[in-house]
Amino acid sequence: MLAAILSRLLRMVVVMFGISVITFLIFFATPSSDPAARIAGRNAAQETIEAVRKDFGLDRPLYVQYGLMMQRLFISQDLTSFANRGQKIIPTVMAAAPATLSLVSGAAVLWMLGGIVTGITAAAFRGRWPDKLLMGISMMAVAMPVFWVGEMVNLVTQNRLHDTWAFSWVPALGYTPFSENPGLWFRSMVFPWLTLAFLYIGFYGRMLRTGIIETYQEDFIRTARAKGLTGRKVLLKHATRSAIIPIVIMFGMDFGVLVGGAAVLTEVVFGINGVGRLTYQALKVLDLPMIMATVLYASFFVVIANAVVDLLCLLIDPRMRRA
């Protein structure tokens, strides 16, 4: 058990190292242009570019450059943006994280509940109209770009209907921290949550339904039926329970990816100042250090989330301890 945990943690560290190398190579070793000029930003003066070159050690071998970069990112944490002079990167990313976390965790609760209810209902009514209806909606949800759904939601809630009784409670686009005004925070997050959750309810509902139906072919379900359990008990206690494990693994992954910044589209459309929108704004001014930091932050978050999920599975399922 302990060995399994340690080996998983070691793997996590190795993957993190690999990711930092890949990110570094993308930004510093692609042959297309001068990294110093890219870091210094658009229309930088020649002196600035030279200063950057010296500062980042870009005239030295690649492994030295890598070492210096990581030192600045993680140890001294004094990497600054060149597009917005003097803006410290790491504190800025950390300040944006709570907004993303509010968006993703709220949506996560909704999509797990929605996905599980959708999957179980569809499986229970397999082939009949509730199944067809739910699966039809799920397919639509998966087919629409999430930012477009967000725009359509805005079109309904922020436009002409905004002044009617139906949507007058929706505040203008933007994010209010929970600590400032919990009520406003909640009201401003309702539609972003629903928008983001809608897509994932589609994914999870479909996946759980398929999983449950596949589980029904297994021997232990036949045994459960044979010993006289009711259909509902077989569905909820046996089939769903075994089909839900891949969903939980999936959830850890998606949650990590979204908190890491994959919610960028939702954040941009709803004007939420999270990590994703930070990346988007950095993108507009080509603020390379900022983008590199957010990408690294994101992928590390994903790796950690995956490791946590795997460790939880180790605790839940003894069969995995041997692997």
Partner 1 sequence: MLPESDKTAPSPAVTAGEDAGRRRGPWKRVFEGLIASPTAMISAGLLMLIVVATLLAPVYAKYVSGTDPFRSGLSARIKIDGKPTPVMQQSTEGLGLGVTPIGPTWGPQYLLGADGQGRDVAARMLYGGRNSLLIAGAATLICLFWAAIIGIAAGYSGGVVDGVLSNLIDMIWAFPVYLLAISLSIVMIGKSFALGPFEISSGSLIVPILIIGLVYVPYVARPIRGRVMAINQSEFVMAARGLGIRRWKILLRHILPNVSTTLIVFAPMLMALNIVTESSLSFLSVGVQPPNASWGTILQDGQTLLYSRPWVSLAPGFAIMVTVLLLNLFGDVLRDVLDPKSARGR
Binding site for partner 1 (CB under 8 A): 14-15, 18-19, 22-23, 26-27, 30-33, 38, 139-140, 142-148, 151-152, 154-155, 158-159, 203-204, 206-207, 210-211, 213-214, 217, 246, 250, 254, 257-258, 260-262, 264-265, 268, 279-280, 283-284, 286, 288, 291-292, 294-295, 298-299, 302-303, 306
Q: Do residues 177 and 188 lie in contact, with contact meaning Cβ atoms separated by under 8 Å?
A: no
For 268, 276, 277, 298, the CA distances from 93, given in Å and listed in that order, are 16, 10, 10, 10
Gap between the Cα atoms of 196 and 202, Å rounded: 11
Q: Closer to partner 1 at the Cβ: 186 or 250?
A: 250
Give the shortest CB-190-to-partner 1 separation in angstroms.
Answer: 19
Q: Closer to partner 1 at the Cβ: 147 or 186?
A: 147
**Residue located via tokens 């036949």:** 222
Q: Closer to partner 1 at the Cβ: 224 or 259?
A: 259
Give the shortest CB-179-to-partner 1 separation in angstroms.
Answer: 27
Q: What are phi and psi of 228, to 5 degrees?
A: 90, 20
Give the shortest CB-295-to-partner 1 separation in angstroms.
Answer: 5
Gap between the Cα atoms of 33 and 11, Å rounded: 34
Q: Closer to partner 1 at the Cβ: 144 or 314?
A: 144
First-residue to last-residue Cα distance in the chain? 10
Gap between the Cα atoms of 296 and 247, Å rounded: 26
Residue type, 123: A
| Torsion of Cα atoms, 296 then 302 then 308 then 311, to 10° | -110
3-state secondary structure (DSSP) of residue 245: helix
Q: Closer to partner 1 at the Cβ: 188 or 279?
A: 279
Q: Closer to partner 1 at the Cβ: 26 or 133?
A: 26
Give the shortest CB-202-to-partner 1 separation in angstroms.
Answer: 10
**Residue located via tokens 């930092």:** 20
Give the shortest CB-86-to-partner 1 separation in angstroms.
Answer: 22
Give the shortest CB-183-to-partner 1 separation in angstroms.
Answer: 26
Residue type, 195: T
Q: Residue 80 forms beta bridges with which residues?
A: 88
Element (H, E) at 52: helix 46-55
Q: Closer to partner 1 at the Cβ: 6 or 14?
A: 14
Give the shortest CB-196-to-partner 1 separation in angstroms.
Answer: 13
Q: Do residues 224 and 234 lie in contact, with contact meaning Cβ atoms separated by under 8 Å?
A: yes
For 147, 157, 189, 267, the CA distances from 170, given in Å and listed in that order, are 19, 7, 9, 16
Give the shortest CB-109-to-partner 1 separation in angstroms.
Answer: 18
Q: Closer to partner 1 at the Cβ: 27 or 125?
A: 27
Gap between the Cα atoms of 64 and 57, Å rounded: 7
